[in-house]
Amino acid sequence: MTAPRIGFIGAGNMATSLIGGMLQGSFKPNQVMASDRSDEQLQRLSRQFGIHTSTDNADLARDCDVLVLAVKPQVLQAVCRALPAERKAGQLVVSIAAGITCSSLASWLGADTPLVRCMPNTPALRGQGVSGLFAVTQVSGEQKKLTENIMNAVGISLWLEQEEQIDAVTAVSGSGPAYFFYLMEAMTSAGEQLGLPREVAERLTLFTALGAADMAVHSDVDTAELRRRVTSPGGTTEQAINSFARDDLPGMVARAMQAAAARSAELSKELA
């Protein structure tokens, strides 16, 4: 079987990270192509990765087995509608555009198009992303595997059973980095108020976050148990945890994430 050819429409931040990750993995430069309206952007990609580039989306779409739609959601409809009808039969289309549903994509690209909708997050730009993936029934097992190979180039990915779950993914991992940044911001300021120089408080906070996430990812017990293990009765951590509990931290987080999920559903309707 010949190696599948992957074409990116939109060669911005996400596409650049994905292409970089793919080429560090099992993909070869002659398998990957990109189009963008900016020639300068394409020249940069071509120099950096040695891949074929084009300013003509239609040209690229005719030539590849997988089309990754990596433009901003607001321009996606126009981009899809301008693609040629004579694309490769059974061509897989993977959309990473936030808020664009499979039914919108199918109405712009054709009802039988094998479609995967993907919700990545910004740490993908550092190869540490996590994505939620949803496939319509036309997507084959082999195409699902190929999608995983593409998305796992910048982190990990998880398949969802229902498309509506993308709103929950958006609330957990899509918007999630900002929640952690907010907590780190608050911890840094609180450390400063306790008498540390700001840079010291910040480094302590960031490396604590990194260490805690690394421990949790590699642990065989859940985060509640990890928390219990560092919370000795009568100790310092217990005082902080009790204070968080009195202020209903779990309730605050749940309410914030419900608001994010509701907004994600609302945006999908606005962009339909």
Bin 259: left if φ > 0, else alpha if -120 < ψ < 50, else beta: alpha
Contact set for ligand NAP, span 133-162 (CB under 6 A): none
Q: Is 122 in the site for ligand NAP (CB under 6 A)?
A: yes
Rule CB under 6 A: say whether 72 interacts with ligand NAP.
yes
14 makes contact with ligand NAP (CB under 6 A)? yes
User: By CB under 6 A, is residue 13 in contact with ligand NAP?
Assistant: yes
Amino acid identity of 181?
Answer: F
Helix (H) / strand (E) element for 26: namely none
Cβ atoms within 10 Å, residue 28: 11
Does 98 sit near ligand NAP (CB under 6 A)?
Answer: yes
Q: Contact between 216 and ligand NAP (CB under 6 A)? A: no
Is 21 a binder of ligand NAP (CB under 6 A)? no
Cβ atoms of 100 and 73 closer than 8 Å: yes
Side chain identity at 269, as an amino acid letter?
A: K
* Binding of ligand NAP by 127 (CB under 6 A): no
Residue 38 within binding range of ligand NAP, rule CB under 6 A = yes
Distances (CA, A) of 3 to 6, 20, 146, 168, 270: 9, 18, 11, 34, 38
Q: Is 201 in the site for ligand NAP (CB under 6 A)?
A: no
Q: How far is CA 181 from CA 87, 176, 239, in A?
A: 42, 9, 23
CB closest to ligand NAP, residue no: 12
Single residue of 70, 135, 150, 260 touching ligand NAP by CB under 6 A: 70
Asked if 77 interacts with ligand NAP (CB under 6 A), we say: no
CA 160, CA 133: separation in Å to the nearest integer? 6
- C-alpha span between 114 and 97 (Å, rounded): 16
User: What does the block give as tokens for 39?
Assistant: 């020639």
Stretch that binds ligand NAP, among 13-21, 135-143, 157-165, 188-196 (CB under 6 A): 13-21
Q: Is 11 in the site for ligand NAP (CB under 6 A)?
A: yes
Which stretches of the chain bind ligand NAP, using CB under 6 A?
A: 9-15, 35-38, 41, 57, 70-73, 75, 79, 96-98, 120-122, 125
